[in-house]
Amino acid sequence: MFEAIDHVGIAVEEIDAALETYTGTFGMALLHRQRVPEHGVELAMLAAGEGHVELVAPLASDTPVGRFIGARGPGLHHVAYRVADIEETMATLRERSVEMIDETPRAGALDSRIAFLHPRGAGGVLTEIVQR
């Protein structure tokens, strides 16, 4: 069902400071950066071999990522798996009684389609599926 790890999402308090670490210190290439007001985040996608690291910073403290950082601090936010057909994967997951956050796919970074599984359905880990 899952083809590969697409990216690991890391919640950060401030995107520019995090980018200094990931591009300057770690030498990762910045592939994409955007503000997504409808999700309350600014994100930056970085190259990490065949996968990616996605930095997500809250636009406000009352957004999902803002609440995450408020409760847990910055750090690992989610794991995203690449899938060939997101609708088919979502249907299979529903058949297997996996609780979904998204009922339909939505637009993601780098022209992808994404959907999130509730952490209760994935051993406590916020899980994203991505169709590129």
Going across the sheet that includes 106-108, the strands are: 30-36, 41-48, 51-58, 4-11, 75-82, 127-131, 112-117, 106-108
* Tally of domains in the chain: 1
Of 81, 74, 60, the C-alpha closest to 126 is 81
Number of H helices, E strands in the chain: 3, 8
Q: Which domain holds residue 120?
A: 4-131
Indicate whether this model's pTM tops 0.85. yes
Q: Which CATH number goes with the domain that contains 101?
A: 3.10.180.10
Give pLDDT tens digits for 52-104: 999 999 999 999 999 999 999 999 999 999 999 999 999 999 999 999 999 99
**58, two tokens:** 């809250």
